[in-house]
Amino acid sequence: MKIGIAGIGGIGSNVARHLAQARVKEIKIVDFDRVEASNLNRQFYFLSQVGEKKTDSLEKNLKDIFPEMVIEKIEKKIEPKDARMLFSDCSIVVEGFDTKNLKKMIIEELSGTGPFVVSASGIAGENMDGVTTRKLGNCRIVGDFISDQDEFTLFPPKIAMVASVMAGIVLRHAKDKINKGRGNEFLPPFSRQLPHGIYGILGEKFSLGRTNVEVAKQMVNAGIDILQYREKLKDKSHKEMYDQCRDIRKITEDAGVPFIVNDYADIALMVGADGIHRGQDDLPVKALREIAPHMMIGCSTHSLEQAKNAVEDGADYIGVGPIFTTRTKEDVCDAVGLEYLEHVVKTHDIPFVAIGGIKRHNLRDVLSSGAKTVCLVTEIIGAENIEKSIKEIRNLLGEYQ
């Protein structure tokens, strides 16, 4: 399977670098430009290559990483109506242009029944917290969707971050076709970094009669940032949970949304989830890390001591709560309030999700206390219109970005 890259500047060259590191066999790169010294702070080129064709320089750099990579080079400025022909032999196309018009052109020409497209929108400025992924037909778009390059300066760490997320989406989409027969060790999962935004949790008890799979589709289509499956054996058999998680894994994978399984490490491993979440009475973080070293591991915490222990044990993120009284979990401890949340913000660098009793009417209090990732369970899965609910929550989050 061939992966095409349209434009090999900051986004395109860095996505290509990640693909070489993941041992992707075949790519096509299209660009007409030459390497400039002013771009070396954010593009995958070197000082000795200044003045050279980008296609030639990038080929050399990629082959230094993975000599077996087959690279088709096309030195050409892509014009309207070129894209479909240029990338007709590609299953996936990465859009790496600088201008809105070119981005729009690629997406429009390759939309519908064409290849899977991974694009970027809003990669300038220093605000990295707002970077998320949206779905538009057969296209996945990464960025903050605000910071246009004409109005904001380019910030190299943000460009690198967006390129990494885009490469991850490409690899996940292609995992069953790239390096076939060689296992998944060449196809790394999502970054173990908890995304900022809305952390969704599934649970049929609160879903108005809808199945977890049905709700997952709606949440993903509405732009949820991360999704967790949370059910118990008293409500579903192990096989039922496995079947649902397998279907939800496919939904989240196609959309580029990280998928977490609560408690059941065996199911998480079998369906290829991106992470496992555990409570205080579940399997230890260190033990989970031994069997799932590549996965994001989250840990619920309700006190300063528990947060400290989770950090020391190597959790990738923690749950902070319940902030307010909640009825979505049985045998839950008393609400810890905003004081605990504020203390975590001041004393720990570990990513966290604020959870427990959070509603739209008290969300501003949570956000103003420093939360970047928030979980509202019944406000979303218990809503008649899930898309509308997520949009309203997203608007509130936007006030604090």
Q: What is the pLDDT of residue 175?
A: 67
DSSP 250-287: HHHHHHT--EEEES-HHHHHHHT-SEEEE-TTSS-HHH
Torsion over CA: 215, 216, 220, 226 (sign): positive
How many other C-beta atoms can be found within 10 angstroms of the C-beta atom of residue 237?
A: 9
For residue 171, the surrounding DSSP H or E stretch is: helix 156-174
Is residue 203 within 8 A of residue 136, CB to CB? The reply is no
Residues recognised as catalytic: 230, 300, 329
Q: What is the pLDDT of residue 25?
A: 87
Q: What φ, ψ does residue 43 adopt, rounded to 5°?
A: -115, 155
**Residue 181: pLDDT over 50:** no
Average pLDDT over residues 300-312: 94
**Residue 183: pLDDT over 70:** no
**pTM > 0.75: yes or no:** no
| Cα 137 to Cα 157: distance, rounded to the nearest angstrom | 28
Average pLDDT over residues 65-83: 89
Is residue 260 within 8 A of residue 229, CB to CB? The reply is yes
**Residue 270: pLDDT over 70:** yes
Is residue 199 within 8 A of residue 376, CB to CB? The reply is no
Top mean pLDDT of 22-26, 31-35, 74-78, 291-295 is at 31-35
Query: How is domain 197-398 classified at the CATH fold level?
Result: TIM Barrel (3.20.20)
Q: What is the pLDDT of residue 113?
A: 58
CATH of domain 2-174: 3.40.50.720
pLDDT band at 329 (very low <50, low <70, confident <90, very high): low
Q: Look at residues 346, 328, 327, 330 and name the one whose alpha carbon lies nearest to residue 338.
A: 346
Do 197-398 and 2-174 have the same topology in CATH?
A: no
pLDDT digits (tens, 9 = 90+) for 347-362: 998 999 999 999 999 9
How many other C-beta atoms can be found within 10 angstroms of the C-beta atom of residue 274?
A: 24
Q: What is the pLDDT of residue 249?
A: 94
Average pLDDT in the chain? 89
Q: What is the pLDDT of residue 152?
A: 80
Q: What is the CA radius of gyration of the chain?
A: 22
Lowest mean pLDDT among 170-179, 346-355, 383-392: 170-179
Q: Look at residues 351, 344, 245 and name the one whose alpha carbon lies nearest to residue 298.
A: 351
DSSP 296-351: EEEEEE-SHHHHHHHHHHT-SEEEE--SS--SSSTTPPPP-HHHHHHHHHHH--S-
Average pLDDT over residues 174-200: 60
Question: In this structure, what token pair is assigned to residue 60?
Answer: 């050399």
**Residue 80: pLDDT over 50:** yes
Q: What is the pLDDT of residue 199?
A: 97
Alpha carbon 398 to its chain's center: 18
**Residue 228: pLDDT over 80:** yes
pLDDT digits (tens, 9 = 90+) for 101-142: 778 888 888 876 578 999 999 899 988 888 888 888 788 999
> In this prediction, what percent of the chain has a pLDDT beyond 70?
93
Identify the residue with better confidence: 136 or 8.
8
**Residue 188: pLDDT over 50:** no
DSSP 142-164: EE-S---TTTS---HHHHHHHHH
pLDDT band at 153 (very low <50, low <70, confident <90, very high): confident
Listed by start position, the domains of the chain span 2-174, 197-398
**Residue 379: pLDDT over 80:** yes
Question: In this structure, what token pair is assigned to residue 223?
Answer: 């732009």
**Residue 371: pLDDT over 60:** yes
Torsion over CA: 212, 215, 220, 223 (sign): negative
